[in-house]
Structure 1
């Protein structure tokens, strides 16, 4: 039996059916090492103590834990000239270790120097279906902030994310895209050329999902925690009432990050999320100068040289233009993204587990309800917008449906 590097076993664990970062870390802790964890999950009986994992999932995990999967991952990493780092590595971004459900592994294509903890990173997010005003604001912010000592982070979605990076590239700024799929896949496909240009301009593509992982609706809210986690602040350009951008903003607040919101047209419902954020105390952005002043940014040629932000030569980025020829294109892809998330969770169960007299954290709610994180975050946001609950970071949520209690 071939013995692989420990990080390859972590990548393999992350690729298993319905196994996320929490499971990966738990398996390694329980079984002693990445190798021992990989070897253990091959047998269903070793998964019996994990009562929160359905039996069907246990069987699927055991049956999919094949060493051929590790060979496939290694092949794709080499083919696409990817790099990767895990939570066991010294160079793993320490800023991500302090967010909720920190990732166990990050795959990278491009300039990994952009993850340096000393650098300023600002997230620029918003709706996929944006207005002309939203598009113009995103491009302006990307272009102007790209001239300064900051890096723009987004999810690379169509709409605001893409327009922000278009503006950024026009001023030769640096960008990071956090993907909701494997880095051997370009999603959405219409942004393939944009991703190529980001890489060519010393940018970076990042994902916690191993090569071969197709895009899925459940991946998008999960990757939002990494977008906000990498950033000092989050700018919401334009967001609908149930937008994934609000999930990113909510995570940012919970992680102690700043949230900025662009003023919107009061008659335009495409930005109802902006109105919600303004009502709830987000910083109202009057121009890119607000960001420059808030973070004491300097013009880019004053804060770095080409060498300090350039990746090693051996990691030259491969074009993503051929990524649509990967063998995943036959799989069904949810093209609606977050709009396909189901809100048919038992709301009464959730409200019954959030007390009126004290705050509870997301971790407490997850344990009490067993609602998956990708369903829980949008539901909490919806209840918060209705006034049924309030969020008081870092203490968590309190039920306001039958309470006159003020939290100080």
Structure 2
């Protein structure tokens, strides 16, 4: 009995010791993360330099504790950067860190196993990613970007594509900007998958401000809000081109829905090409300002999206047997219905244009358009404006 009691005490002693060691390791990990937070917040020092100095010193805490002379002798920082770093150490880091922990965010530094491999190997990886909600995982992902001041046609394409991808368990990556970005997120939320927004500000800053519902729904639906910028960082014009490389890096391929000739979406497309990603564009009418960027991309060799099901099938996201489309060849159309259908495309046409092109009278055109709408081959996008269904 005495031996049994001793054995029991010994077992519980080991458990208690292991528990203490586990808690100590957890505390140390949190302490290390605090210094990674400090280094991640030094926005005016190139992320590659921050990654490099951490690797040289072994930890962010070791960087924090380096003497000024040692930092100088590394010949890694300019005088301005060095002074910026030294000034940052005068702040109350522990208080700032506690404020961060209260915000219920994740911090994933470059040194972490949880850091996305898709980001790790780009030319300028972020030092860390701040996240509200979840991070993208290893599943397939598609980036969707485009104009803020988009057309209803472009918005419709982005919404439908976002939903189709989400229904196929493909992660949708975008930037939560007005227009195409928000439409792609909204479409993904209608589907069964998850969507992720990469912001050009702190991920605790909802931008644009009127996107609060979208911002919350992305997080509550299994997605996440991501940023390389620390909490409280306000949106500035120069930060959006910087974040675009993260959108493209997290995406297996990139789709540009609508873009003007000088558009931030084209910066994202350039980043995707530099990262070896395929870029696709939705074609538009010649002379349409919102299509100039997409048409230019197609002229440079980007893939053309002319049918969403075929696009998904080409990417391997849609098995051929599932590609149910209402093609004209599967429906027996009257001769006049064929005339009306063939004069339409994906861009809305006014009924007067259809009458002029087909040579048919108004009543015949109205009757045939009604039939084509019932067949789901045609949609009325605005009053008296018709286009082929997607």
TM-score where L is the length of structure 2 = 0.70
Mark the CA change 1:220 to 1:49 in structure 2 (over 3 Å): closer, same or farther.
farther
3-state SS, counterpart of residue 132 of structure 2: strand
3-state SS, counterpart of residue 129 of structure 2: strand
1:257-268 paired onto structure 2 within 5 Å: 257-268=277-288
Between Structure 1 and Structure 2, which shows a larger proportion of helix residues?
A: 2
Distance in 1 of aligned mates of 2:94 and 2:291: 44
3-state SS, counterpart of residue 206 of structure 1: strand
* Residues 45 and 81, structure 2, Cα contact 8 Å, conserved in 1: no
* Residues 167 and 193, structure 2, Cα contact 8 Å, conserved in 1: yes
Do residues 13 (structure 1) and 39 (structure 2) align? Answer: yes
Please name the residue that 1:99 is paired with.
122
Further displaced range: 45-54 or 175-184: 45-54
User: How many pairs does the alignment contain?
Assistant: 293
Do residues 283 (structure 1) and 303 (structure 2) align? Answer: yes
* Residues 195 and 224, structure 2, Cα contact 8 Å, conserved in 1: yes
Do residues 214 (structure 1) and 240 (structure 2) align? Answer: no
Distance in 2 of aligned mates of 1:72 and 1:188: 26
1:158-201 Cα distance to aligned partner (Å, 9 max, x none): 11101111222223431011111212211111112111111121
3-state SS, counterpart of residue 48 of structure 1: helix
Distance in 1 of aligned mates of 2:95 and 2:46: 20
Displacement of 1:95? 1.9
1:35-50 paired onto structure 2 within 5 Å: 35-40=61-66, 44-49=68-73
Please name the residue that 1:224 is paired with.
244
Which of 137, 144, 158 aligns to 1:116? It is: 137
Distance in 2 of aligned mates of 1:130 and 1:45: 54
Please name the residue that 1:63 is paired with.
87
1:163-182 paired onto structure 2 within 5 Å: 163-182=183-202
Please name the residue that 1:328 is paired with.
none
1:203-352 paired onto structure 2 within 5 Å: 203-297=223-317
Do residues 85 (structure 1) and 103 (structure 2) align? Answer: no
Mark the CA change 1:290 to 1:72 in structure 2 (over 3 Å): closer, same or farther.
farther
Displacement of 1:46? 4.3
Distance in 1 of aligned mates of 2:212 and 2:90: 31
Displacement of 1:101? 0.8
1:21-36 paired onto structure 2 within 5 Å: 21-36=47-62
1:56-112 Cα distance to aligned partner (Å, 9 max, x none): 343232112245235323422x32321222221222211211111112211111123
Distance in 2 of aligned mates of 1:73 and 1:189: 26
Distance in 1 of aligned mates of 2:287 and 2:74: 51
Distance in 1 of aligned mates of 2:314 and 2:133: 29
Please name the residue that 1:141 is paired with.
161
* Residues 204 and 232, structure 2, Cα contact 8 Å, conserved in 1: yes
3-state SS, counterpart of residue 89 of structure 1: coil
Q: Which runs of 5+ in 1 are unaligned?
A: 303-408
Is the radius of gyration larger for structure 1 or structure 2? 2
3-state SS, counterpart of residue 92 of structure 2: helix
Distance in 1 of aligned mates of 2:112 and 2:43: 24
Displacement of 1:5? 2.4
3-state SS, counterpart of residue 65 of structure 2: helix
3-state SS, counterpart of residue 127 of structure 1: coil
Displacement of 1:23? 2.1
Distance in 1 of aligned mates of 2:205 and 2:235: 8
Distance in 2 of aligned mates of 1:265 and 1:206: 35
Displacement of 1:28? 1.0
Distance in 2 of aligned mates of 1:263 and 1:111: 33
* Residues 44 and 59, structure 1, Cα contact 8 Å, conserved in 2: no
Which protein, 1 or 2, shows the higher relative CO under an 8 Å CA cutoff with sep ≥ 6? 1
Displacement of 1:45? 4.2
Distance in 1 of aligned mates of 2:97 and 2:307: 44
Distance in 2 of aligned mates of 1:262 and 1:25: 38
